[in-house]
Amino acid sequence: MNSRHQYVELNDGRLIPGLGFGTYKPPEVPNSKTTEATKIAIETGYRHIDCAYAYQVEEEVGLAVRSKIADGTVKREDIFCTSKLWCTFHRPELVQSSLERSLKKFHFDYVDLYLIHYPFSMKPGEELFPKDENGKTIYDHVDLCAVWEAMEKCKDAGLAKSIGVSNFNRRQLEMILNKPGLKYKPVCNQVECHVYHNQRKLLDFCKSKNIVLVAYGALGTQRDKQWVDQSSPVLLDDPVLGALAKKHKRSPALIALRYQLQRGVVVLAQSLKENEIKENIQVFDFELTAEDMKELDGLNRNYRYLAAEFGADHPNYPFADEY
């Protein structure tokens, strides 16, 4: 099946598919599920695969992509694959070797997009979440501009075709953009973004700087017990989404995804279920009216499912600012 994607142009001239397949999964789900789901996604027409070192499924995602290349479904250049630099590898001398490690797991020569996963740094080492004896995160303090310079070197080395950031606020983006000797602007900022937290101000700022906003958690996250308050509202149960779903004869998930596309946001959809993976790509088959969009804008309550509390007392914690 041909991908019917709309593509969005990045500020480095490359194109990113407007819909991406997210590969984060809760720890209790076996990694093999990621391989199966990613294969289904590629067969269904997804061409944008979002991954990260911290998800610990780069091998499984690479396996799925390579098997779909081997069977002739796609070529490597058809796939837009993202990975992310984890907080324990921020020291400039660790950045490229961290990306090389990810590439080795994928069995790829390059990633299409490499992002700084969070703006705060943690103690270097093998632990994803280094903690002291009291269970407090052990931080590191690295200048974000120095991290960005190391990212630029990864692009120059051809290991990442495009580079960007994730979970940065406006102030942190401006710090990079105003950096003396800036060689490449971030192409995107990947952030939590959904109808309960529509990131209007950050989106307007990013658009003004020609930076694409990429939305994760667009369906209200997978409500992983480790990170998400289980008493938080279930996004897809929202009555407004439900009413619009009935009106358009679509699912609430498709309404939530379509909303983002029509705002010029690149949106990630995550699922391990074949029926949902196939349904989510139907986001290109209908359109919301201006009234629908206004109604969805009205749901915003600046509610964050994923507050990254493990970084809350670091000076670079991004979510203390308004946006």
Residue stretches of the annotated binding site for substrate: 117
- Sequence-distant (6+) residues with CB within 8 A of 85 are 53, 95, 98, 99, 114, 115, 116, 117, 147, 151
Residue type, position 120, single letter: F
Bridge partners, residue 266, by sequence: 214
> CB of 78 within 8 A of CB of 127?
no
Q: Which two tokens stand for residue 311?
A: 């970084």
In eight-state DSSP terms, residue 38 is: H
Feature table: binding site = 117
Q: Which two tokens stand for residue 153?
A: 């070197």
Cα–Cα distance measured from residue 314 to residue 141, given in angstroms and rounded to the nearest whole number: 9
Q: With b meaning 16 or more CB within 10 Å and e meaning fewer, what string describes 153-181?
A: bbbeeebbbbbbbbbbbbebbebbeebee
Task: Give how far Cα 180 sits from Cα of 2, 145, 146, 221, 316, Å.
Answer: 43, 9, 11, 37, 20
Instruction: Return the active site residues.
Output: 55
> CB of 173 within 8 A of CB of 204?
no
